[in-house]
Amino acid sequence: MFRMKGEIWVKLLLFFRAGLLPISVAGVDTEAFLRGWLQVENDFSSDGVTNNDAYQYALVHY
């Protein structure tokens, strides 16, 4: 599909224990945070343009 830049690991580090600990200490509900991430993953991982809001947004703004 799309190529990801080499720095993507920095963004994904947030979802590992080392990234979740500071978020938790800051008082953020980490379970809700991860549920939200899973919802976004489900919403934007479909291949079809008609079912994927991210594709539709990209088409409109391209």
**What pLDDT is attached to residue 47?**
78
Write out pLDDT tens, residues 17-33: 777 888 889 999 989 98
**What pLDDT is attached to residue 48?**
80
pTM: predicted TM-score of the whole model, two decimal places:
0.56
**In Å, what is the CA distance from 13 to each residue of 24, 26, 35, 42, 51?**
14, 17, 17, 20, 28
**What pLDDT is attached to residue 27?**
94
Give every residue of the chain whose pLDDT is below 70, as ranges: 1-14
Domain locations in the chain? 8-61
DSSP track, the chain: -----TTHHHHHGGGSHHHHHHHHHTT--HHHHHHHHHHHHHHT--S-GGG-HHHHHHHHH-
